[in-house]
Amino acid sequence: MPATKRKPASPATTKASASENKLAKLGLRSDMDLVLHLPLRYEDETKIVPIRQAAFIAGSPAQVEGVVTECDIQYRPRRQLVVTIADDSGTLVMRFLNFYGSQTKQLAVGTRVRARGEVRHGFFGAEMVHPAYKAVDEGDPLPTALTPVYPAGEGLSQTYLRKAIANALKRVDWRDTLSPALLEQLKLAPFEASVKLLHNPPPDIDENALMERSHPAWTRMKFDELLAQQLSLKRAQEARRAKGAAALPVVGDLSGAFAAHLPFQLTGAQQRVLQEIRADLRQSFPMQRLLQGDVGSGKTVVAALAAAQAIDSGFQAALMAPTEILAEQHFRKIAQWMEPLGVKVAWLSGSLRKKEKTEAQAMIESGAAQLVIGTHALIQEGVEFAKLGLVIVDEQHRFGVGQRLALRNKGLEGDNLFHQQTVPHQLMMSATPIPRTLAMTYYADLEVSVIDELPPGRTPIVTRVVDQNRRDEVIERVHAAAQEGRQVYWVCPLIEESEALQLQTATETHATLAAALPDLQVGLVHGRMKPAEKQIVMDGFSRGEVHVLVATTVIEVGVDVPNASLMVIEHAERFGLSQLHQLRGRVGRGSAASVCLLLYQSPLGPVARQRLMTMRETTDGFEIARRDLEIRGPGEFLGARQSGQAMLRFADLQTDQWLVEKARDVAHGLLRDDPATVEAHLARWLGGREEFLKV
């Protein structure tokens, strides 16, 4: 069922087309888009209350109708428009503090108006401040349904939207995409009746069920939306399986030598996920696997072993990390592991000088570099691989949606990002665990491997929540730790509003700590430093020459210095849970008992308190993710602003989990038995937005 193009709702004047653009901005392009643009809430304009009675129910909104008896602009206490209306029962003042000159004409004495608002008792008796109003003729009929209030973009009036939607409701193809048998089995309401009810609910409807979106009409919408999402994800998965990838079957000399040279034994969990990855790489369709493991669980070495398999099989591998610091750290560590075994490792980042970049590109292009490590510069202009077999993305949740799309889709298309016939296998890594419902929806087309065990010999991190005014004691503690030969991270407060201010704070913190700890080396690293400068500081810290590292969140992911065992986070109340967890994960990487001090500024708000308590109570990344989801909701959890349209509009992954499971089962059946329905349902619900759901 192709989406019909929307005809203009009103004559094609310039004004109408400006509104059309605004509709398009809301993603409303076809009639069906409009029809599925459901109200946020409703206003009850179905009743008129006598003014006298409205005055008695002061505090809740009411609609009254009366004739204007006075209309004046007054100047005290400030300029305002004061309009008195009267019906048989009494009089009421409408007060407008902001108004246009034209309103004095609209509300001229003798005009009959309907006004909606809350009645208050003012100096002159009953009044409404800034009521919604419209001029009417005596006996004009009242609406018979609640009036919908739609989500609207800037400059788009409710009146225009209502009209456009009402027109679309008359034009669309109402065929139900679900068969009567399926509806019966799932106990779902029909599509047409549900949509129409939501746009124009009868006045006697259960308003709570409507507002809480538990009404059967809402349930149907949510189900349809989730079904579309499941279908789209499953199809993406099938499309991927249909693509060709080079099989990478050889676990040979390099893999063997590499494993033999490791200074430790892989944990059982690492071995298990490695087997899963190895099996995928042997296939001739592209792997799309997410490797999840809490911070410190040892994902890097698993990734390196996967890369070794690609190289053993005669292909190149690429490892991409979200920050320069992390990418560089991987480069050093992995090059140190692999170069003695005869592997050429190339480094590529945006900050390379032109000459270095050209050299790196030449090595990548000729195939001389078997392993390439870098930032997103890897997927940018002009990087051509000779024979890329495997792409590894570390901390994949940190990449922007655009970058993830580029990797996941362009890589899968004919003219693919890596300029070759076959598609590379992909391994994504993340320490941010995905709760079950999210895994079932947003990540449904990924295979998932989990490292659920930390390397042995780690002592759990003790977390303390400390009032900022005990900073002096904290500094003492830093000193004591350094005396014992341990190293310390000191994380500066996050200042989201201003990067300049954040830098200033970091510099100041560095200066005060350096002054307070004159016998220690205090280093500073922040996002505005040149990569080379950062590297000097990070190297000093890695070698143990810098005792205390003052840092912004640039150290949030991946940084691995096992001798660091104390972490201080200032203004911890400003950080999100997953960010705190990632930061804390920088310590507790060696065998020394580690401590994390969360400094806060009182008073603490309830949400911040909840976050800090969670941090104190658990170090389990899964538990933290679960609570994070609870506190923030899935939209925020996934970065709603970032993923934009990818978000579900109606279904709520927390309250509607039961529907997710049903939708998944139905999607399965439809894909197997009924491709026509799959097409129709996807066209109706996703139109052109399908791409976004896959990110």
Are 463 and 325 contacting, i.e. CB atoms less than 8 angstroms apart?
A: no
Give, rounded to a whole angstrom, the gap between the first and last alpha carbons of the chain: 25
Closest Cα partner for 383 from 413, 409, 416, 412? 416
- Binding partner of residue 298 among Mg ion, ligand ADP, none, CB cut-off 5 to 8 Å per kind: ligand ADP
In the set 19, 194, 292, 300, which binds ligand ADP (CB under 6 A)?
300
Place of tokens 């050209």: 358
Binding-site string for ligand ADP from residue 267 to residue 286, where x marks contact by CB under 6 A and - marks none = x--x----------------
How far apart are the C-alpha atoms of 135 and 36, rounded to whole Å?
31
**Which span sits near ligand ADP by CB under 6 A: 32-40, 258-266, 396-404, 639-647?**
258-266
How far apart are the C-alpha atoms of 584 and 460, rounded to whole Å?
11
Element housing 67 (H / E): strand 61-74
Element housing 118 (H / E): strand 112-118
Q: How far is the CB of 300 from Mg ion (least distance, A)?
A: 5
Does 322 bind ligand ADP (CB under 6 A)? Our answer is no
Binding-site string for ligand ADP from residue 580 to residue 619, where x marks contact by CB under 6 A and - marks none = ---------x------------------------------
In the region spanning residues 558 to 587, those forming contacts with Mg ion, defined by CB under 5 A, are: 558
**Which span sits near ligand ADP by CB under 6 A: 24-32, 291-299, 411-419, 519-527?**
291-299
* Residue 299 or 408 having the CB closest to ligand ADP: 299
Query: Which amino acid, 405?
Result: L
Binding-site string for ligand ADP from residue 418 to residue 457, where x marks contact by CB under 6 A and - marks none = -------------x-----------------------x--
How far apart are the C-alpha atoms of 139 and 542, rounded to whole Å?
82
**Which span sits near ligand ADP by CB under 6 A: 22-30, 148-156, 251-259, 265-273?**
265-273
In the set 56, 124, 174, 264, which binds ligand ADP (CB under 6 A)?
264
In the set 200, 255, 297, 463, which binds ligand ADP (CB under 6 A)?
297
Binding-site string for ligand ADP from residue 542 to residue 581, where x marks contact by CB under 6 A and - marks none = ------------------x-x-------------------
Radius of gyration of the chain (CA): 31
Q: How far is the CB of 303 from Mg ion (least distance, A)?
A: 9
* Residue 221 or 319 having the CB closest to Mg ion: 319
Does 298 bind ligand ADP (CB under 6 A)? Our answer is yes
Helix (H, G, I), strand (E, B) or coil at 212: coil
Are 567 and 595 contacting, i.e. CB atoms less than 8 angstroms apart?
A: yes
* Residue 131 or 298 having the CB closest to ligand ADP: 298
User: Which residues make Cβ contacts (< 8 Å) with residue 117, sequence separation at least 6?
Assistant: 61, 62, 94, 128, 129, 130, 131, 132
Q: Total binding residues for ligand ADP by CB under 6 A?
A: 18
Binding-site string for Mg ion from residue 524 to residue 563, where x marks contact by CB under 5 A and - marks none = ----------------------------------x-----
Q: How far is the CB of 432 from ligand ADP (least distance, A)?
A: 11
Q: How far is the CB of 266 from ligand ADP (least distance, A)?
A: 5
How far apart are the C-alpha atoms of 588 and 459, rounded to whole Å?
7
In the set 3, 86, 152, 266, which binds ligand ADP (CB under 6 A)?
266
**Which span sits near ligand ADP by CB under 6 A: 295-303, 308-316, 404-412, 459-467?**
295-303
Q: How far is the CB of 291 from ligand ADP (least distance, A)?
A: 9
Are 34 and 136 contacting, i.e. CB atoms less than 8 angstroms apart?
A: no
Residue 509 half-sphere exposure toward CB, CA atoms < 13 A: 27
**Bond preceding residue 151 cis, omega within 30 of 0:** no
Q: How buried is residue 336: exposed, middle or buried, by Cβ count under 10 Å (0-12/13-18/19+)?
A: exposed
Q: How far is the CB of 190 from ligand ADP (least distance, A)?
A: 50
**Which span sits near ligand ADP by CB under 6 A: 36-44, 205-213, 297-305, 349-357?**
297-305
**Which span sits near ligand ADP by CB under 6 A: 58-66, 178-186, 290-298, 344-352?**
290-298
Closest Cα partner for 648 from 35, 222, 148, 196? 222
In the set 162, 299, 398, 477, which binds ligand ADP (CB under 6 A)?
299
- Token pair in block for residue 660: 């997710």
Distance set, CA 680 to CA 5, 198, 223, 224, 302 (Å):
16, 22, 15, 12, 43
| Sheet with 125-129, side-by-side order of all strands | 120-122, 125-129, 91-96, 80-86, 61-74, 112-118, 132-135
Binding residues for Mg ion (CB under 5 A): 558
Binding residues for ligand ADP (CB under 6 A): 264-267, 270, 293, 295-301, 431, 455, 560, 562, 589
